[in-house]
Amino acid sequence: MQDRPSLSALSAPLAAALVADAAQLRIGIDRVAGATVVDGGIARPGGLEAGRRIAELCMGGLGRVTLQADTQSDRWPFQVAVHSTDPVLACLGSQYAGWSLSHKDEAGSFFALGSGPGRAMARKETLFDELGYGDSGDHAVLVLESGTVPPALLVERIAADCGVAPERLTLVLTPTASLAGTVQIVARVLEVALHKVHALGFPLHDVVDGIGVAPLPPPGKGFVEAMGRTNDAILFGGTVQLFVTGPDDAAADLAQRLPSTESRDYGRPFAEVFAAVNKDFYAIDPLLFAPARAVVTALESGRSFHGGHLASGMLDRSFGG
């Protein structure tokens, strides 16, 4: 466990730089219970670059995110690309939104899923036992896909769970419908693939490297539309290539089973799927959450296997023309 990189150590300078560059990134910096709270699109506009940097922070300093042109697309000409030096730790150990955070009192309730390097310090998820990873440090960072600021009592509890003083905690808030939120969600194209790799039972230690890309959608007007568009960017427009060890037949099987096209709920924009299950997120087939297309390269043989396909017409339908 100790020979793995420290996500806390790698992410601390990224968090500090985000705060230092707040003015030029059009993000806000506030304090709640002593913790630093970064407003990535609630009262401040934020933007694409803020989202790009937040996405890298969310990967614990083990990932790189770029915005680039897609010369093959007539209607959606830009895309979010992501790769990682340690995709399993960066995506599942940090970027995955696996920490459920909630608080309720007479003033109301708050709920969000926490992602980012602070998860590995709190280790509230059994996933970390499977990864064989834990982290400690003097600074914790979490990213919350939220349009409201968490209450002070919850902030204090998060800091305690991470083993740091509140003054050493940074919470980054990116509403789903914001520009920064749009980028940081679509930048999960590789993470979504790794999560499905895990769900399919493919050995994580055989995943050596990975890269992914998905189109940059226009932000939605409200939460449901925004959630739909960011999901559809991955489900219908995302491509991931994984480089794996092990036999060719295992790589070929993974390439076929990994794409979103293999899900029973594939075929409609995500917002429509969500409405059809009465907005019960957990009623949706979990195997839907995957990139549209997968390439799996078996390093020992040098062969590559392909599965799934892009669906540009579905992107047009989802993104609003």
- Architecture per CATH, domain 7-63+88-174, reads as Roll (3.10)
pLDDT at residue 107, rounded to an integer: 77
Contacts of 21 (CB under 8 A, 6+ apart): none
pLDDT at residue 321, rounded to an integer: 61
SS3 at position 281: helix
Residue closest to 180 by CA, chosen among 47, 38, 53: 47
Contacts of 13 (CB under 8 A, 6+ apart): 61
Contacts of 35 (CB under 8 A, 6+ apart): 155, 158, 159, 166, 167, 169, 170, 171
Indicate the pTM of the whole model. Answer: 0.95
Report the topology of domain 179-320: 3.30.1030
Over residues 192-221, the pLDDT tens digits come to 999 999 999 999 999 999 999 999 999 999
Which residues belong to CATH 3.10.340.11 in the chain?
7-63+88-174
pLDDT at residue 153, rounded to an integer: 96
Angle subtended at Cα 185 by Cα 304 and Cα 79, rounded to the nearest 5 degrees: 60
Q: How far is CA 58 from CA 6, 170, 279, in A?
A: 14, 12, 27
pLDDT at residue 1, rounded to an integer: 43
Residue closest to 197 by CA, chosen among 125, 120, 131, 287: 287
Which residues belong to CATH 3.30.1030.10 in the chain?
179-320
What H or E segment, with its residue span, contains residue 160?
helix 152-162
pLDDT at residue 74, rounded to an integer: 83
Angle subtended at Cα 81 by Cα 16 and Cα 284, rounded to the nearest 5 degrees: 100
Question: 47-71 burial by CB neighbour count: b if 16+ within 10 A, else e?
Answer: bbbbbbbbbbbbbbbbbbbeeeebe
* Nearest 10 degrees: Cα torsion 141, 169, 54, 259: 30
Q: Helix 48-58 and helix 179-186: axis angle, to 10°?
A: 40
pLDDT per residue, tens digit, the chain (321 aa), is 447 899 999 999 999 999 999 999 999 999 999 999 999 999 999 999 999 999 999 999 999 999 999 988 889 999 999 999 999 999 999 999 999 999 998 878 999 999 999 999 999 999 999 999 999 999 999 999 999 999 999 999 999 999 999 999 999 999 999 999 999 999 999 999 999 999 999 999 999 999 999 999 999 999 999 999 999 999 999 999 999 999 999 999 999 999 999 999 999 999 999 999 998 888 999 999 999 999 999 999 999 999 999 999 999 999 986
For residue 76, count other CB atoms closer than 10 A to its CB: 17
